[in-house]
């Protein structure tokens, strides 16, 4: 039977060992610098770049399409949204590319749906107001034991605390970077966007409303003229057959 002093010493050793394991796990959760850029319009055009991946992991990922392919990243995001009840979203046009020189994996896709971005139209002033929800960035990417990223933690900083940069020729950017975590993320609005502000984790901005050809057709007097012409033809034919 262990004495009290021996129990205390053993407990201290276990705690130290646990701390070392947790620290190693935390360090192992980032194996490559990550750059994320999302251009915002009627959807998110998203680009993930994982650079300077260690050579063994890079080759393993490149040669195994079952674990790293065009849907790996967007599928994780989509499933995370669905798990949170945000089921009105989808991704499309996914692609993945590999750069052997820089050992970079580039994942590109579009994300849309009213749970991630929606808009309302004020026809009186021809303005469309967009609400872009950026919480999709917070997810856990676990591809292999050597390629794990906890974006829920590294991108936890509220959007209101991100840098807002206004460039005349390139629109408005909301940027966040953490050199220690090896991550940079930005949301880029169209250069014609106006009145941009942040509410919680969403970006609200205005764009000039341009009616679609369907709207123009509906509002056009042409339909009325066509309807009158059709009615006139029907009346004419009806009188002839009588």
The stretches of the chain forming alpha helices (DSSP H) are 4-28, 55-62, 72-83, 151-154, 213-218, 221-241
pLDDT at position 167 is 81
Q: Residues of 132-157 as b/e, b for ≥16 C-beta within 10 angstroms?
A: bbbbbbbbebebeeebebbbeebbee
- Counting as low any pLDDT under 50, the low residues of the chain are 2, 4, 6-30, 213-214, 216-218
List, as own/partner pairs, every contact residues 186-194 make where C-beta atoms lie below 8 angstroms and the sequence separation is at least 24, other chains included: 186/36, 186/37, 186/38, 187/38, 187/40, 187/132, 187/134, 188/37, 188/38, 188/39, 188/40, 189/40, 190/40, 190/41, 191/167
pLDDT at position 11 is 44
pLDDT at position 66 is 95
pLDDT at position 142 is 96
Task: Give the predicted TM-score (pTM) of the model.
Answer: 0.76
Distance between CA atoms of 117 and 38, rounded to whole angstroms? 12
């Amino acid at each position: 039977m262990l004495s009290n002093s021996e129990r205390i010493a053993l407990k201290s050793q276990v705690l130290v060992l646990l701390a070392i394991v947790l620290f190693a796990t935390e360090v192992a959760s980032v194996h490559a610098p990550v750059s994320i850029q999302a251009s915002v319009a009627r959807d998110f055009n998203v680009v993930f770049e994982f650079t300077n991946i260690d050579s063994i992991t890079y080759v393993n990922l490149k040669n195994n399409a079952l674990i790293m392919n065009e849907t790996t990243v967007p599928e994780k995001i989509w499933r995370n949204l669905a798990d949170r009840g945000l089921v009105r979203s989808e991704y499309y046009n996914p692609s993945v590319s590999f750069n052997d020189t820089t050992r970079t994996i580039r994942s590109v896709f579009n994300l849309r749906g009213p749970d991630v971005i929606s808009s309302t139209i004020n026809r009186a002033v021809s303005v469309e107001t967009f609400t872009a929800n950026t919480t999709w960035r917070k997810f856990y990417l676990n591809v292999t034991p050597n390629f794990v990223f906890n974006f829920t933690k590294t991108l936890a900083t509220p959007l209101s605390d991100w840098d807002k940069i206004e460039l005349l020729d390139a629109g408005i950017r909301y940027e966040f970077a953490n050199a220690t975590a090896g991550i940079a993320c930005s949301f880029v609005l169209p250069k014609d966007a106006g009145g941009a502000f942040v509410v919680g984790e969403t970006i609200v901005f205005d764009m000039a409303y341009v009616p679609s050809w369907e709207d123009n057709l509906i509002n056009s007097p042409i339909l009325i003229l066509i309807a009158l012409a059709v009615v006139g033809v029907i009346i004419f034919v009806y009188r002839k057959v009588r």
